[in-house]
Copies of this chain bind each other. A is one copy, B any other.
């Protein structure tokens, strides 16, 4: 097995260590991307970047229709890649949409997002995971703080921090409907989590994560490093949020009448393909972590 640069869930105490990889992988071949220098620097500093209305209202309208169709098609399907709310039968997520329908397949190659991902990761990219998320009004549940990388590394065998998430926001996100919260700068630190990973952890962790949970002291420390700041990804429908694989994020519940939905792609560097999970366990299923027939994306207009 490869050297584990980022050990976690080894039964040890919680621990904070410095990130061993750059946040922005500067590579002259991909430096002519769509992002300005100040945008790249902001991503490097804060661990995320929000673009207001990268997609216009017509495009959002089409995406919402496609999201609805995908939800309808999957509503009665009881399967691991269709996630319901804990305590109810409301749909929360449908996975692997970039393989499923022509529309989301094309969206996943859209050059507005792919070229930004290439510029930040300094290489060609592919998709390790995709999903649509639907957080209903009135009863959307919270999602506790976590670093995606901690899970992807431990459970999926992602070797380095060289991946990012791209969230295309399909509903207006307000302060009061449970927006994604991010701790700026947290991507520079790795919180090694206590505990060990149960077998087939993903079956429960997608509803409510119980392992890979950062401890309170580490969380307080990260927020202190940020000068007490916790940012929220609010903005109108059509906005796009990019955030680093190790940025600590979470969201409170949503008791407002306004549902939230988004399309979610995880871009990984083609030089950072998944290996055996560092937990030593069986890899998670393909719908959560693509391993088969990996090819770099050719961006579409």
Q: How far is the CA of A166 from the CA of B232 in the complex (A)?
A: 29
Which of A176, A232, A251 has the largest count of B CB atoms less than 10 A from its CB? Answer: A176
Which residues of the other chain, B, contact A145 by a CB distance below 8 angstroms? 255
Closest beta carbon of chain B to A294's beta carbon, Å: 35
Total copies of this chain within the assembly: 2
From the candidates B142, B223, B232, name the one contacting A175 in the complex (CB within 8 A). Answer: B232
Cβ of A34 under 8 Å from chain B: no
Cβ of A216 under 8 Å from chain B: yes
Is B255 a contact partner of A223 (Cβ separation < 8 A)? no
Which residues of the other chain, B, contact A230 by a CB distance below 8 angstroms? 174, 176, 256
Main SS of chain A's interface residues? loop
Closest beta carbon of chain B to A48's beta carbon, Å: 15
Which of A144, A223, A256 has the largest count of B CB atoms less than 10 A from its CB? Answer: A256
Q: How far is the CA of A240 from the CA of B138 in the complex (A)?
A: 27
Cβ of A129 under 8 Å from chain B: no
Is B181 a contact partner of A257 (Cβ separation < 8 A)? no
From the candidates B176, B220, B253, B257, name the one contacting A142 in the complex (CB within 8 A). Answer: B253
| Contact-residue size bin, chain A (C-beta under 8 Å from the other chain) | 20 to 34
Which residues of the other chain, B, contact A232 by a CB distance below 8 angstroms? 175-176
Which residues of the other chain, B, contact A288 by a CB distance below 8 angstroms? none
From the candidates B137, B220, B223, B253, name the one contacting A252 in the complex (CB within 8 A). Answer: B253
Q: How far is the CA of A253 from the CA of B176 in the complex (A)?
A: 11
**Chain A interface (Cβ < 8 Å from any Cβ of B):** 137-138, 142, 144-145, 174-176, 178, 181, 216, 219-220, 223, 230, 232, 250-257
Given contacts A178-B252, A230-B256, 20 further A-B contacts (CB under 8 A): A138-B216, A142-B142, A142-B252, A144-B255, A174-B230, A175-B175, A175-B232, A176-B252, A181-B255, A181-B256, A220-B257, A223-B256, A223-B257, A250-B255, A251-B255, A252-B252, A252-B253, A252-B254, A252-B255, A253-B253
